[in-house]
Amino acid sequence: MIERILPAAVVAAEAFDDPPEAVLLPEEEPVIAKAVDKRRREFTTVRYCARQALGKLGFPPVPILPGDKGAPGWPDGVVGSMTHCKGYRAAVVGRVAEVVTVGIDAEPHVPLPDGVLNATTSADERVHLAALAESHGDVHWDKLLFAAKESVYKAWFPLMRKWLGFEDARITFDPSGTFEAELLVPGPVIGDAEVGGFSGRWLVDSGLAVTAITVLV
């Protein structure tokens, strides 16, 4: 499913359940040893997906260990992103020769809990979401915006190695399936230019709101 919003330079693997063949490598076991069952299943299956995706690029199975602020540690020469939520796990990877950064997120396609919208959006964004809801009421735009901002952070962090708050990016959606994320703080320098934002794609399918940002070389 997620491959529909990714360029050809990025490969993906996804799962809608936790297959029995999804197991951890020995190096990963200590990371999750004290976790509850739900967290363990998410952690395990999304890494199973990551190894499947890496295999499509010709990489052997390797441990995917959390690094700084929990960001996954990819093999040299690879950039990637992972996401998991109820009923879905996915990982995407690309070669650094072709992909600068990638960020994905998936969320259940249901409204945000009470109070979360105001904490994660600006007044301008709320006006934008209200207009979208009037013209395209079949989409939970609040949850889609939350997913888009998660994708922004996941694309941002490998380049900047520091926090990006919900208030530091402004999202605008095109109902056709794209979105723009304007950075409201100084952005990463790619090549010789500072990046002022990211372009992304979105879809709603199978009860999920899915977003992806890919910056190509």
| 8 A C-beta contact, residue 153 and residue 185 | no
Spatial CA neighbour of 135 closest among 175, 80, 168: 175
What pLDDT is recorded for position 167? 97
What pLDDT is recorded for position 160? 97
What pLDDT is recorded for position 100? 98
pTM to 2 decimals? Answer: 0.97
What pLDDT is recorded for position 99? 98
Q: How far is CA 4 from CA 10, 177, 179, 217, in A?
A: 11, 11, 15, 20
Residues 6+ apart with CB under 8 A from 178: 199, 200, 201, 202
- Is the backbone of residue 89 left (phi > 0), alpha (psi -120 to 50) or beta? beta
CATH class belonging to 2-101: alpha beta
Ranges in the chain, pLDDT < 50? none
Spatial CA neighbour of 197 closest among 208, 185, 209: 185
What pLDDT is recorded for position 193? 95
Domain boundaries 105-216, corresponding CATH code: 3.90.470
What pLDDT is recorded for position 28? 98
What pLDDT is recorded for position 53? 98
The Cα–Cα gap between 12 and 95 comes to 13
What pLDDT is recorded for position 199? 98
- Tens of pLDDT along 39-59? 999 999 999 999 999 999 999
What pLDDT is recorded for position 197? 98
Q: Do domains 2-101 and 105-216 have the same CATH topology?
A: yes
What pLDDT is recorded for position 3? 98
What pLDDT is recorded for position 145? 98
What pLDDT is recorded for position 148? 98
User: For the chain, what are the domain ranges?
Assistant: 2-101, 105-216
Q: What is the DSSP letter of 140?
A: -
